[in-house]
Amino acid sequence: MPLQQLVEYFNQRFTEEQGLSNPPLRLNGTQVEGTFGGLCFGSILEPVRLAESPSLVIGHDTSSIVPDVQGAPNPPFQTPTSDEALNIVNLDRLNRTVHMLNYLPVAHEEGHLFLHVHPRHVLAVKRDHGAYFEEIIQRCGLLTRRVVITLLVSPVYDRHLILLLERLRNYRDRGYSTAIKFDDRAGESFLERYCIEFLYRFTPDFVRFDSQFFPKLTRDPENYRRRSSLLSAIRRLDTQLLIERINSEADADLAKLLQADLVKGIYYERCAARKPERILDDCTV
C-alpha cells in the first residue's frame, strides 16, 4: 500500500479510537511526522551494523526528533514525564507508528527494526502486549520477528521488574524479537542485584549498552568486576551484544574489547561517508 494511503488509514484509525479533532499523522515530503498534545515529531533511523564487518547493516534503530522548522539544530524528542499531561500509551503507539512508516522505504533489506517501548506503556497495558501494534505491522506488510521491542531496565522501575519481565514475554510470545537496554546511569548495586537476575529470568535476542556504560573499566576495579560479571552473564546466554554510541576510534576499540556482536554510532557513518563500502570494514571494532 502506498505511504500516503497508509497515513490516511492510520489517521482515520487514531482519530476514531482517541476521539481526536485533527489527524495526528502527516506526510511531509517522504517523511511521516506525528503530532500529539502540541508535540510534532519525526524519525531518525540509525544503521545497526555487524561488528566484525561494519559494512553489513543488519537493521535500523529508531529515535524521535522535533522537526527543524526555523533552521535551528533539532532538539531531542523527550517523552513527557507526566501521565496527566499526555497519555503515555497513545503517545507511545503513535510514536512507533511514525517510525514504522518511515522505515518502510528500507524495509526491503530484510533487516531488523529496533523500536523502544516505554516502561510506563508496558505497565499501563494489562494484557495482550503487542496485539495492537501487530495489526499495524501487518498493515505495513512486515513480520513481527523483524521488529525488535526494546525495553529500558532502570532503577526507576525496580519495584516493577518482575511485572515488566512477564509482560515483555507477551511480546516474545507474539513473535516479536526483544532487546533489553540497561540504564547507563544505574548504580552498581542495581547492576549486581537486578540485572543479572533479570537476564537469567528472561533471555532477550539482544542486550544493548551505551559505550558510556563502561567509562571506568580501567580505572575502577570494583566497577570493572561488577560490569564484567554482567558481561559474563550475557556471554553465557543465547543473545547478541549491541554496543551503541560509537562516536570515536576509542569507542570502537572499547567495543572490540567487549567483544560486541553489533555496533551503532556516528563513527561508522563517517567511515561509510568517506570510504567505499569495501574499505568500511577497516573500521572494524
- pLDDT tens digit string along 11-49? 999 999 989 999 999 999 999 999 988 889 999 999 999
Q: Which positions ≥6 away from 197 have C-beta within 8 Å?
A: none
Do residues 116 and 152 make contact, with C-beta atoms less than 8 angstroms apart?
Answer: yes
Q: What is the pLDDT of residue 226?
A: 64
Mean pLDDT over residues 151-173, rounded? Answer: 87
The CATH-assigned architecture of domain 3-283 is Alpha-Beta Barrel (3.20)
At residue 266, the pLDDT reads 95
Task: Write out pLDDT tens, residues 118-158.
Answer: 888 888 888 888 898 998 899 888 899 999 999 988 888 87
**Grid coordinates belonging to 189:** 548495586
Q: Where are the domains of the chain?
A: 3-283
Alpha helices in 29-151 (DSSP H): 88-103, 119-124, 131-139
Q: Which amino acid, 6? A: L
* pLDDT in the model for residue 75: 43
The mean pLDDT value for 184-196 works out to: 71
What cell does 193 get?
542485584
Alpha helices in the chain (DSSP H): 3-18, 88-103, 119-124, 131-139, 161-173, 188-190, 196-201, 221-235, 249-257, 266-274, 277-280
